[in-house]
Structure 1
Amino acid sequence: MAAKRPDSRNKIVATNRQARRDYEILDTWECGIMLQGSEVKSLREAKVTLTDAYARVDMREIYLVGLHINAYSSASAQGGHELSRTRKLLLHRHEIDELRLRVDQEHLSLIPLQLYFKEGRAKLELGLGRGRKHYDKRQVIAKRDADMDARRAMAARRRTG
């Protein structure tokens, strides 16, 4: 079941812009993430890096690896959290089974796309994607540029005409 895009009422904390360039995203899921108290406070200050993070399926659970959450600025030195620990993602059992099956059969990757708050809870948009080759990235960039040029030309034509 695909996740809905976060709406304007939700506060987006971090996005992984590089993921959409490096991967062809086939499907997305919204999942919860298990965090400690100081991690949530750091997220509210948007002190997080999604760039090197990825998800992996272990047995019947999904874990997020490489998510770096900086220490909370007002926390004491002893009460902080580990900056780059492995965090468990919260999905329904059937969703985990579907993800594991698709990752194994189609050789896909689980990439975190966005981290945001929804109704006070931290949520992660997880994408199921296929890695792009270098020439594929160039084709995508060229197509995007051509589309933008066409839109600009049409807008200029409307203004003058």
Structure 2
Amino acid sequence: MKKNSNHRQNGTIALNKKARHEYFLEDKFEAGIALQGWEIKSIREGKANIADTYVIIKHGEAFLLGAQIQPLLSASTHVVCDPDRSRKLLLKRRELHKLIGASERDGYSIVATAMYWKKHLVKLEIYLAKGKKDHDKRDTIKERDWGREKARILKHNPR
């Protein structure tokens, strides 16, 4: 079976585009996700969504909240499918300690930005992030618009 959709060729399953707008992203981590069999099948069919997700630390373990993985219509009847359940993240102990310290002491949030395939495993890209204020968001929009305008000017006026 040939898969010819572009997002599957580069390995990306789902993106959280709002995270870059809402937060200053600082430290990047790669985490595995503890998934059930029906979830993997649904992810292969492209039924995953990580918009508005975040990570919490509970009892020294990291959990992903807000991710939705819709069950397939052909899912087995004896399996209880909960699309909004919290999923455990698989991180190294040192990474967990760094996340715990930054979120509890320094007031950082932990935000998921991308879900992707790495060989046959599903991985989650998470960042330590600081929330942006409204004026920061406006500044980001102005800088992006100015960059576009500058590119147009340089394209039409080569020197």
Q: Shared fold by TM > 0.5? A: yes
CA shift at 1:78, angstroms? Answer: 3.3
CA shift at 1:13, angstroms? Answer: 0.6
CA shift at 1:52, angstroms? Answer: 2.2
Aligned partner of 1:24 in structure 2 is: 24
In 2, distance between residues paired with 1:81 and 1:88? 16
Amino acid at match of 1:87: R
Aligned partner of 2:146 in structure 1 is: 146
Q: Which runs of 5+ in 2 are unaligned?
A: 1-7
- Indicate the larger mover: 74-83 or 116-125: 74-83
Q: Which runs of 5+ in 1 are unaligned?
A: 1-7
TM-score (norm 1): 0.88
Secondary structure of the corresponding residue to residue 75 of structure 2: coil
CA shift at 1:66, angstroms? Answer: 1.3
Provide the aligned C-alpha RMSD in A.
1.6
Aligned partner of 1:3 in structure 2 is: none
CA deviations over 1:109-143 (Å, ceiling 9, x no partner): 01100001110100000011001111111110011
CA deviations over 1:46-73 (Å, ceiling 9, x no partner): 1112112110111221011111110123
Q: 8 Å contact 1:10–1:119 — kept in the other structure?
A: no
Identical-residue share of aligned pairs (%): 35
Moved segments of 4+, more than 6 Å: none
Amino acid at match of 1:94: R
Is 2:92 the partner of 1:92?
yes
In 2, distance between residues paired with 1:59 and 1:10? 35
CA shift at 1:9, angstroms? Answer: 6.1
Aligned partner of 1:111 in structure 2 is: 111
Is 2:79 the partner of 1:73?
no
TM-score (norm 2): 0.89
Aligned partner of 2:41 in structure 1 is: 41
Secondary structure of the corresponding residue to residue 20 of structure 1: helix
Q: 8 Å contact 1:72–1:80 — kept in the other structure?
A: no
In 2, distance between residues paired with 1:117 and 1:80? 25
Secondary structure of the corresponding residue to residue 43 of structure 1: helix
